[in-house]
Amino acid sequence: MASEALIQRFDMGKRLSEMAVHNGVAYLAGQVADDASKDIVGQTEEVLKMVDDLLQRAGTDKSKILMAQIHLVDLSDFDGMNSVWDAWVTPDHAPPRATVQSKLADPGWRVEVVVTAAVN
């Protein structure tokens, strides 16, 4: 009988974990800015830093992102978010990505990013 693969959970709370790693894949919870007073550029910078930090803890990095989902409250923020994303994403390793308009849980949040990444 094969043994069940280990699932690692990071920053687990009552409702959710910030990340789970299983079978060589890191699954991040939606990341949102701690400082909701920032504009779209500031919130995107903060969120992508959080993504970097979580991926590092899992032993991987943004060059190994398999899929990114970006939720924007207002599609007029698309260009501002992309200005930060384009400077952040690893050249020649841009992941598949979806960007949608969403109503987020906190009215101050402008962007939420969900990422899955390979862990080597």
Domains of the chain, earliest start first: 18-118 (3.30.1330.40)
Q: Mean pLDDT per segment of 10 residues, for the chain of length 120 residues?
A: 76 96 98 98 98 98 98 98 98 97 97 96
pLDDT at residue 1, as a whole number: 46
Residue 28 bridge partners (DSSP): 19
Q: Which pTM does this prediction carry? A: 0.94
pLDDT at residue 49, as a whole number: 98
pLDDT at residue 2, as a whole number: 52
Beta carbons within 8 Å of 1's beta carbon, 6+ residues apart: none
Please, what's the b/e burial string for 91-104 (b: 16 or more CB within 10 A of its CB; e: otherwise)?
A: eeeebeeebeeeeb
pLDDT at residue 5, as a whole number: 76
pLDDT at residue 4, as a whole number: 61
